[in-house]
Amino acid sequence: KAGVTQTPRYLIKTRGQQVTLSCSPISGHRSVSWYQQTPGQGLQFLFEYFSETQRNKGNFPGRFSGRQFSNSRSEMNVSTLELGDSALYLCASSLTVANTGELFFGEGSRLTVL
Amino acid sequence: DQQVKQNSPSLSVQEGRISILNCDYTNSMFDYFLWYKKYPAEGPTFLISISSIKDKNEDGRFTVFLNKSAKHLSLHIVPSQPGDSAVYFCAASGILLASQFYFGTGTSLTVIP
């Protein structure tokens, strides 16, 4: 069974640009969550989608947005990039809603903002 | 507001000895806890979980202990192996809380051969 796939793995952007990251969950998983990992901050929750609906959103500015498609694939978008947005963005899928079972993580998309 | 805390950023242990990684939480509504291991350039991988109805769960060399009154959990690795060198994250959630896991900041474990 294929795992969670995230693309692109690495990308470099400049301040003010926008970026879109993609996540394909494990087949059959309906929940997709996004986390931001920065040094010393652990994993910070961005949002969760379940059956195309955003069920929960973390404490991030409106520049961070996402969506989920009918095939459960998800994208997240960051507009007007800032230097502090440099991080590893992790996508996780789960069979049911995201706080009741194990999360399966992708390898992440490492974003560098110059 | 960090609801899950891992106060030791790093830990070094000799191969064959026990590694004990600690995690504290503040929200008494957490009822499900996970440990993840993360190697550089890889996503976190699930290690072991425990629900609040238990105080111990074992899986091979890994055992997680939960002390609800102290709001504390720990992961024991026995015996420790060099391949266990990684960053370990604890995470917590609550069925009555929002649909997310709250992660600690991680502990970097180094197992010395």
Return the CA Rg of chain A.
Answer: 13
Strand order in the sheet with A64-68: A5-7, A19-24, A74-78, A64-68
Best residue in A29, A43, A97 for a mutation probing chain B (most B CBs within 10 Å): A43
Backbone angles phi, psi at B84, to 5 degrees: -80, -10
Nearest residue to B103 via CA among B11, B6, B12, B38: B6
Cβ distance B34 to A102 less than 8 Å, yes or no, reads yes
- Report CB contact under 8 Å: A99, B89: no
Residues B61, B83: Cα–Cα separation, whole Å: 13
Q: Band of the pLDDT at A96, cuts 50, 70, 90?
A: confident
Nearest to A99 among B46, B49, B101 (CB): B101
Q: Quick one: A90 exposed, middle or buried, by C-beta within 10 A (0-12, 13-18, 19+)?
A: buried
Question: What are the tens digits of pLDDT across the range A29-72?
Answer: 999 999 999 987 889 999 999 999 999 999 999 999 999 999 99
Q: Is A104 exposed, middle or buried (0-12, 13-18, 19+ CB in 10 A)?
A: buried
Classify B13 as helix, strand or coil: strand
Q: Which residue has the tokens 């709250």?
A: B102
- Beta strands per DSSP E along B2-69: 4-5, 10-14, 19-25, 32-38, 45-51, 56-59, 62-67
Predicted local confidence at residue A101, as pLDDT: 76
Q: Residue A76 pLDDT more than 80?
A: yes
Residues 14-73 of B with CB under 8 A from A: 32, 34, 36, 41-46, 49
> Does the pLDDT at position B1 exceed 80?
no
pLDDT digit string, tens, across residues A8-36: 999 999 999 999 999 999 999 999 999 99
Contact A99 B34 (CB under 8 A): no
pLDDT digits over B40-86, tens only? 888 999 999 999 999 999 999 999 999 999 999 999 999 999 999 99
